[in-house]
Amino acid sequence: MNKIVIGVMGAGEGATANDGENAYKLGELIAQAGWVLLTGGRNVGVMDAASQGAKSANGLTVGILPGTQAEGISVAVDIAIFTDMGNARNNINVLSSHVVIACGMGAGTAC
């Protein structure tokens, strides 16, 4: 049976404290439902907060990363997928998720 994948997207460095709190709770709820969390995978902003929330509830996390290096990955990402695509990786994020939730707003989120 396929797992349900929920993408949580939002600002990285520009995320507000409220964005982070909301993303953490979203990640937690996604994991509690038994779904897989998919984010941009980096260790900043909404991506990191959602991943941390999912891990706090023993969830599975996937990070679709913009580059080719392990530097800057959230420690809460279980499966890191390197794309070397920069913000163009958002196409992968959306196409790989059953549902996408925008948490806050950033330049990459608005694309």
Residues 6-43 pLDDT 10s: 999 999 999 999 999 999 999 999 999 999 999 999 99
Q: How far apart are CA 91 and CA 33, in angstroms?
A: 25
| Dihedral angle of Cα 20, 23, 28, 29, to the nearest 10 degrees | 140
> Which single residue is written with the structure tokens 């953490």?
24
- Looking at every residue in the chain, the average pLDDT score rounds to 93
Is this model's pTM higher than 0.85 or not? yes
| 78, 62 Cβ separation under 8 angstroms | yes
